[in-house]
Structure 1
Amino acid sequence: MIRLHHVQLACPAGGEEVARRFWRDGLGMTEVPKPPELAGRGGAWFRSGEAEIHVGVEEPFVPARKAHPALAVDDVATLETLGERLTAAGFEVDWRERHTFTGHQRFHAYDGHGNRVELVTGA
């Protein structure tokens, strides 16, 4: 059996606070400590349930505009609440493809570094 352990996204040097605003404050994920041997590299790790996102420093930095993690939420109300929270926090949220994924509703958001993230739920 194979299961997903984490998804790695990149940020520029010094981008950790912007990552915290998106992942922790916007999506409500918990920041988890990086192992001491990795902490000196910068970046930050976030978890909610089984989903874990690692944001690492990469230079030169190029945002992932097409490749993206897709995070599932329990219901449409949660999806809409998260979209509203991210918008209120100043992040780009795109609902144009809300109903294009059969049996699901979704939106795409862009973290403060331009990385694409999908939030999806069942219909």
Structure 2
Amino acid sequence: MGQQMNDQEKLVLTKRDEEGCTFTKIGSMLGITPQRARDIYIRQKELRKIEAYGPFAVILPPVCRGRLTIHFGTPDILGRPDKLAAMGGYKMLGLAYFGTWTVTQIAEALHKTGYIDNPKRWLNRKR
């Protein structure tokens, strides 16, 4: 779910963005392969993009983020959890590729961020 950057990941971002180091140089400094340094860099850049949408997007599993983005046609929906909360779980279950697991994960993220009071009630609400 929500991820925190460790010191190694922070160092990779700093060395790459601020100092312009190559992944080979970063890898040799940290005792990791250049590919691992690149993977860390890409993952942390992606996480920063997701964090821009707020805590709901960070808590939400990647599969759910992807399905919401595909269905609504834009990742901006990740910044509008109020819209998803108003939709209700029952209606969301009717969407293509939104099964019980996906909708339950969305309900839990909405609950953790304070958009709904009771995930089970939200899942059963018909609207």
The normalised TM-score by structure 1 is 0.30
Query: If you compute each CA radius of gyration, which structure gives the higher value, 1 or 2?
Result: 2
More helix by share: 2
**Higher relative strand content:** 1
Q: State the TM-score, normalized to the length of structure 2.
A: 0.29
- Which of structures 1 and 2 has the larger relative contact order (alpha carbons within 8 angstroms, sep 6+)? 1
